[in-house]
Each structure stands twice: as C-alpha cells, then as structure tokens.
Amino acid sequence: MPRFAANLSLLYNEHPFLDRFAAAAADGFQGVEYLFPYAFAAADLAQRLADHGLQQVLFNAPPGDWDAGERGIACLPGREAEFRAGFAQALDYAQALNCPRLHVMAGLAPAGVERTRLQATYEANLAWAAEQAATLGREVLIEPINPRDFPGYFLTHQAEAHRIAQAIGAPNLKVQFDLYHCQIVEGDVAMKIRQYLPTGRVGHFQLAGVPQRHEPDVGELNYPYLFNVIDEVAEACGWQGWIGCEYRPARGAVAGGTRDGLGWLRDTRRA
C-alpha cells in the first residue's frame, strides 16, 4: 500500500495550523506536506513534527505574491534574483525540517511574453535550483497544474514536465504527479502512472477526487484501482515515495470534518 501524507494546508482546516500536526498523527498519518512554512519559525514546525512522530515530506518554495494572485515565479523573466533568494530560504527550512523535496511553482504565463522566453527562464531557474538542492541531498519537484484552477499556469501536462526534467538532466529534478490535475487536463491516468513511474522521474504523487477536489472516494476517479496500479509499478521499479492527500474535505468547515471523510483511508489500510 502507498504511504499517504496529510496535506495540512487543505486538510484539518477545522483546527489552527499548528494543531493540524496532532490531528493528522491521531488519524494515523506518518507524513505531512503543506504549501508554505514561512509564516512560522522552522524550529516550531520541527518541534511539532518531533512531538507527533511525523515526517515532513514536501513543501513549496516561495511563490511570489500569493495573495495578489501569483502562483510561482520560476518562469518569469526579471524575477531571477527573487527566485534565488526564495529558494535559498526554502532550502534553509528543508534542512531544519529534514524535508527531502521542494516543489517549485512555475507561475502564470504573463500576456505578451513569448513562451520560448518563459521556457528559457524556467529551465535556467530549475537547473540552478536543482544544483543548489543537490549539495544538500534534496530534490526539486515541478508539477503540472490544471488551468481551470490556475488559469494561465505555465506547466499543465505530464509529458511537458518530463521533457523539461529530462532536458535539464539533473537526477534530483523530478515531477510531482498530481492525479487530480492529470485527470482534469489529460485523463488516461493509470496508463500515465505506468508510463512515467518507471522512468525514475516521479518524485511524489498527490490525490483528490475529481472534479470538486474533495475526498478521493467522491468523484470520477477510481482510486482503489489506481492505488493498486501504483503498488504494482512501484514494486516492479523500486519506487518508495509518498502520496500527498491534497483535497478539501467535503465537510471541511465542520468540526471533525476531515476525520469523518477519512473512510477511504481506513478502507485502503484494511484492503
């Protein structure tokens, strides 16, 4: 069975952020991920992980001005210095939290800038970030994201992400395979797992039900089937990663909403 990490940005919103670690551990999670740690001291986060026996499996590098609508800056010409400073900060947190992988968000393609220029900026930033991360034994991840949730996002397709990772050629530059985004953008999810997992370039999976991004047992994807495919292929190729549970609980605003929606996880553990 795959290992599941609780995404504390989306799950357990019925609790204040720092209390979500305890809630996730109480539900049997051994790993956590979230969008950004930067509003908290790394030492406080590390203490929560230690207190609850949790591993930090992923978080994101600074994305630019999130509240103003930015969704990463890696493809944006002219923002290279900010990208480098942000990535250095992310690496400091990764060290303190013993987190093996960092997601670098591409950003929204600005109108009027040629794609080739964005592509060159993106690849140069990723090559630099992968080199920095390698010195500390960390991985850099890139994630294709569906353009309904993030209109204009630069990276949307699995094939494109793998082409970029392959072209840059850094062994620690990998793809974050979010099954929810993949289903929305291109479908054929099981075959894409079979195609890409054996390449060694998949660094992490994430899941959510499609289309509402609720629990994985709500919606059009058959997750028990996909978990079996991941298990089968992972065993054959020796992959040992995590699946981040990155969904908004259908009863998320209700006390106990996240736990009440974890029946799918209890069923998976029993299977």
Ligand X SMILES: O=C(O)C(=O)[C@@H](O)CO
- Catalytic residue numbers read 143, 246
For the chain, where are the alpha helices, taking DSSP H only? Answer: 20-26, 42-51, 80-97, 115-135, 158-168, 179-185, 189-196, 223-237, 257-260, 263-270
3-state secondary structure 7-29: ECCCCCCCCCHHHHHHHHHHCCC
**183 near ligand X, judged by CB under 6 A:** no
Q: Which does 103 bind (CB under 5 to 8 A by kind): ligand X, Mg ion, none?
A: ligand X
Count the alpha carbons within 13 Å of 258 in the hemisphere toward its beta carbon: 24
Task: Candidates 24, 45, 60, 107: give the one binding ligand X (CB under 6 A).
Answer: 60
Binding residues for ligand X, rule CB under 6 A, total: 10
148/105 Cα distance (integer angstroms): 16
Site for ligand X in 92-111 (CB under 6 A): 103, 105
Partner whose binding site includes residue 60, from ligand X, Mg ion, none (CB under 5 to 8 Å by kind): ligand X
Binding status of residue 48 toward ligand X by CB under 6 A? no
Q: Are strands 139-142 and 173-178 parallel, antiparallel or unpaired?
A: parallel
What's the closest the beta carbon of residue 246 comes to ligand X, in angstroms?
6
Give me the least distance between CB of 190 and ligand X, in Å please.
19
Output 72 or 261, the one with its CB closest to ligand X: 72
If one asks whether residue 14 binds ligand X (CB under 6 A), the answer comes out as no
Residues 205-244 that bind ligand X (CB under 6 A): 206
Answer with the entry of ligand X, Mg ion, none that 140 interacts with (C-beta below 5 to 8 A by kind).
none
Whose CA is closest to 145, among 74, 83, 91? 74
Instruction: CB nearer to Mg ion: give 46 or 213.
Output: 213
Q: In the complex with ligand X, which residue's Cβ is closer, 169 or 241? A: 241
Nearest 5°: the CA angle 51, 54, 58 is 130
Question: What does the H/E/C string look like for 32-82?
Answer: EECCCCCCCCHHHHHHHHHHCCCEEEEEECCCCCHHHCCCECCCCCCCHHH
Q: From the CB of 82, what's the least distance to ligand X, in Å?
A: 18
Per CB under 6 A, contacts with ligand X among 24-43 are: 35
The reply to whether 246 sits near ligand X by the rule CB under 6 A is: yes
Do 88 and 132 form a contact (C-beta atoms < 8 A)? yes
Tokens of 33: 């991920």
178 near ligand X, rule: CB under 6 A: yes
User: Could you list the residues that contact ligand X (CB under 6 A)?
Assistant: 35, 60, 103, 105, 143, 145, 178, 181, 206, 246
